[in-house]
Homo-oligomer: A and B are copies of this chain.
Amino acid sequence: MPVFHAHIPKGHYSSDQKTAIARSLNLSLVQGLGIPKEDCFICLSEHAKDELFIHPTFMGMQRSTSALIITVLIGDHRPSVEKQQLMATITELLKQHVGISPDDVFIALIPVPNENFSFGQGMAQLAGCSPQW
């Protein structure tokens, strides 16, 4: 149930590239955390030039006009090592599948208790059970 929201520059990525961004994010769960590929809940939002402000060099990066911000709602049971694996995998797959420079990928993982997710039917499917993945 990691839920992705990618904030991308408007008109910069083609429809195919937008789909490839989503596919890369989905695949990062499979490859980075061993989550089934069916666990796919992803939004992209385009922002015009006057709606997206990302510093070109902060923290030693060389960011381009392709730079994007990705937020991920992620189970708060994940240890540091898994979170680092996920961030590395997202960045690697966006490079492989979309050609996005690793310097252009900003990620924030927002921790959420597993019992706070409903996959449908208004039920908290993960309440009271230990995480499967």
Please name the residue on chain B nearest to A17 by beta carbon. B50
Query: A125 and B59 in contact (CB under 8 A), knowing A106-B119, A115-B80, A116-B83?
Result: yes
Judged by DSSP, the binding face of A is mixed
Q: Which of B26, B84, B119, B123 contacts A127 (CB 8 A)?
A: B84
How many copies of the polypeptide does the oligomer hold?
3
B53 A87 Cβ-Cβ under 8 A:
no
For A59, list chain B residues within 8 Å (CB).
119-120, 125
* Bound Cα distance A18, B84 (Å): 34
| Per-position 1/0 for A91-133, Cβ under 8 A of B | 1100000000011111111111101111111111101000000
In the complex, chain B residues whose CB is within 8 Å of the CB of A33:
none
Chain B hits for A38, CB < 8 A: 55, 57-58
Known: A60-B120, A84-B127, A109-B112. 10 other contacts (CB 8 A): A40-B53, A42-B52, A63-B120, A73-B108, A83-B116, A84-B123, A90-B122, A105-B122, A106-B120, A108-B112
A contact residues vs B (CB 8 Å cutoff): 1, 3, 5, 7, 15, 18-19, 22, 26, 36, 38-47, 50-55, 57-61, 63, 69, 71, 73, 80, 83-84, 87-92, 102-113, 115-125, 127
